[in-house]
Chain A
């Protein structure tokens, strides 16, 4: 993707590279946001209705940080495509601050959220089901179940 930086804003925001890049960027953020919301609804909903099994995925806080970082940046790009000019300097600076806060959150949030969820789950009477917990190349999941006979096996079956 090449964008000529000598162009004025109207031309720069209407280049195919900028429009296509913005569309892909916005789609990627929408997908990340969907993954975060689905994970949060699953986790919080499970705890609230005291489900027999709840799974915590550590990609959820990581992608939440990514949404904080990239959401405002995507807004600035979309604004540019739609209005043919970028938002105010203040809004752009805010997007940059969000980018930095999000970058830090992506690293810090999984380390904070993991122990916090674990502590809450144990206090709510759940135990870790190692058989249904696991890890892929870039994230891991922990299954919490009620300490009753067969709950862990059911959790494994439902995962399969």
Chain B
């Protein structure tokens, strides 16, 4: 039985192929600064601006919910796809080394499986990775889910900062810092639970186990952290601390400026007096 190797992209053989590939990979990205977005919003006519802010008020909760659940939803879909591809939840898979490289060997009748029709695949085979089969693919799913959640939440927070009436920069930074910590803890817990499962002999041979545990632990920890945050108000406390820090630093700077100005004033007065009193 041949061992499946990772697929590579089709080779570019002609100039036409080259330009087609180039056009297919063309993206237009606009990078705008905070000031530019603010300017863009300010430049809108009052009526249109009011409509934009109104739509944002109605949709912000949905967007926040979607950003928070997107990665878990993706893992859930992947899990459902994997069950379908394996022809059931009870399919077994284990890792064997062939030619010094790790491979996932699937047990059972290959004809019952829809997508994974081979009996063994390299751990980095596109089918294995895209379906979340095996430890490596489950770890990839957890990590990429975490990164994606940070991107989505950052986009949401920045939009919310511009489109909310009472948003401050400190709230934006505090909210983002809390999000990054929460996502980090969630991904860490999911990866840790996956490692625990891998150490259990019978449970680790089931192909669906690693992805299932990443999905369950990721979702449960994310919701639990949100509950803890609501209960103990960690994020508002962090924002308050940052605001106090900012106020303290501003006060220190004001005092320092005043002190420098006073010293300079004394020096200048002294020098002027010297100049006046010095006989020519």
Contact = CB atoms under 8 A, between A and B. Distances in A.
B7 interface: no
Contacts of B189: 24, 28
Interface residues of A, number: 44
Interface of A: 1-3, 5, 9, 12-13, 17-18, 21-22, 24-25, 28, 31-32, 35, 59, 62-63, 66, 69-70, 73, 76-77, 80, 86, 89, 92-93, 95-96, 99-100, 102-103, 106-107, 135-139
Interface stretch (B214-222, B238-246, B256-264): B214-222
A77 B216 contact: no
A35 B224 contact: yes
B200 A80 contact: yes
A18 B199 contact: yes
Interface residues of B, number: 40
Nearest to B216: A69
Given A1-B192, A35-B227, A96 B220 contact: no
A157 B201 CA distance: 53
Given A92-B200, A93-B202, A100 B192 contact: no
A77 B65 contact: no
B212 A59 contact: no
Contact of B203 (A69, A95, A136): A95
B96 to A, nearest CB: 13
Contacts of A96: 202-203, 206, 209
Contact of A3 (B198, B202, B220, B222): B198
A92 B201 CA distance: 9
B195 A66 contact: no
Q: Among the interface residues B196, B204, B209, which one has the most CB atoms of the partner chain A within 10 A? A: B196
B196 A106 contact: no
Contacts of B79: 103
Interface in B43-97: 61, 64-65, 67-69, 76, 79, 89
B21 interface: no
B105 interface: no
Interface of B: 61, 64-65, 67-69, 76, 79, 89, 189, 191-193, 195-204, 206, 208-209, 212-213, 215-217, 219-224, 226-227, 230
Given A137-B65, A139-B226, A86 B198 contact: no
A92 B203 contact: yes
A24 B192 CA distance: 10
Contact of B201 (A9, A17, A77, A103): A9
A35 B224 CA distance: 9
In the A-B complex, the 6 residue pairs with the closest CB atoms: A66-B220, A92-B202, A138-B226, A69-B216, A3-B199, A137-B68
A35 B65 CA distance: 21
Given A5-B198, A5-B199, A99-B216, A25 B224 contact: no
A30 B68 CA distance: 24
Given A35-B227, A70-B217, A136-B226, A25 B202 contact: no
A106 B137 CA distance: 22
B133 to A, nearest CB: 15
Contacts of B213: 73, 99
Contact of B220 (A12, A17, A70): A70
